Amino acid sequence: MAIREITKYGKDAILKKVCRTQMNFDDRLAQILDDMADTMYNADGVGLAAPQVGILRRYCVIDIGEGLVELINPVIVETSGEQTGQEGCLSVPGRYEEVTRPMKVKVRAQNRKGENIVVEGEGLMARALCHEIDHLDGIVFLDRM
């Protein structure tokens, strides 16, 4: 377990790139996921995506205070409703802006063992899911304003 450096917006083009599918569910992935959780908690964040620690792969961690969720190759398969509220990002320190997101989302993904999982989120969890999955497509919340 280790705290990794978080890439800052505007300093590194990696945050604008589309990430590739994660194919290997191995010890290396587990190590990076552990480090990402440490890094997120250390920075008081509720989510962190792989490109934010310099890795162009499709995975992220989220904890809105209800436990750690790890999503590998996540895809949003259903959305409903709408919410508008303030959003921030560990890669854009000190900046918070209003962003409109779905109120509910359903995500299909894999866990660290490669097993298929479904995660449903409402409110803040829906916002976090959308925000982190956006990172995997090179989209930062400022692009959604």
Asked if 75 and 103 touch (Cβ cutoff 8 Å), the reply is no
**Angle at CA 27, nearest 5°, toward 11 and 54?**
5
Asked if 33 is part of the footprint of Co ion (rule: CB under 5 A), the reply reads: no
Binding mask 50-89 for Co ion (x = CB under 5 A): ---------------------------------------x
**Any catalytic annotation for residue 132?**
yes
Number of residues binding to Co ion, judged by CB under 5 A: 1
Least Cβ distance, residue 86 to Co ion (angstroms):
13
Q: Find the residue with minimal CB distance to Co ion.
A: 89
Binding mask 86-105 for Co ion (x = CB under 5 A): ---x----------------
Q: What is the DSSP string of 72-131?
A: EEEEEEEEE--EEEEE--TTSTT--EEEEE-SEEEEEEE-TTS-EEEEEEETHHHHHHHH
Give the residue numbers annotated as catalytic, written as ranges: 132
Binding region for Co ion (CB under 5 A): 89
